[in-house]
Amino acid sequence: DADVTQTPRNRITKTGKRIMLECSQTKGHDRMYWYRQDPGLGLRLIYYSFDVKDINKGEISDGYSVSRQAQAKFSLSLESAIPNQTALYFCATGRDYTDTQYFGPGTRLTVL
Amino acid sequence: ILNVEQSPQSLHVQEGDSTNFTCSFPSSNFYALHWYRWETAKSPEALFVMTLNGDEKKKGRISATLNTKEGYSYLYIKGSQPEDSATYLCAFLENTGNQFYFGTGTSLTVIP
Question: Which H, E and C letters describe A22-54, residue by residue?
Answer: EEEECCCCCEEEEEEEECCCEEEEEEEEEECCE
- Residue among B47, B49, B100 with most chain A CBs within 10 A, to mutate: B100
Q: Do B49 and A98 touch (CB under 8 A)?
A: yes
Q: Is the pLDDT of residue B105 over 80?
A: yes
pLDDT at residue number B1: 64
Q: Is the pLDDT of residue B96 over 90?
A: no
Distance CA A2, CA A97 (A): 22
The whole-angstrom distance between B76's CA and the closest CA on chain A is 19
- The DSSP 8-state label assigned to residue A101 in this structure reads P
Distance CA B107, CA B37 (A): 10
pLDDT at residue number B34: 95
Residues of A in contact with B1 (CB under 8 A): 59
**Out of B46, B97, B104, closest to residue A97 by CB:** B97
- Burial profile B17-35: b = 16 or more Cβ within 10 angstroms, e = fewer: eebebebbbeeeebbbbbb
| Phi, psi (degrees; rounded to nearest 5) at A84 | -80, 5
pLDDT tens, B52-70? 888 999 999 999 999 999 9
**Out of B44, B99, B105, closest to residue A45 by CB:** B99
Grade residue A1 by pLDDT with cuts at 50, 70 and 90. Answer: low
Which one has a higher pLDDT value, B51 or A21? A21
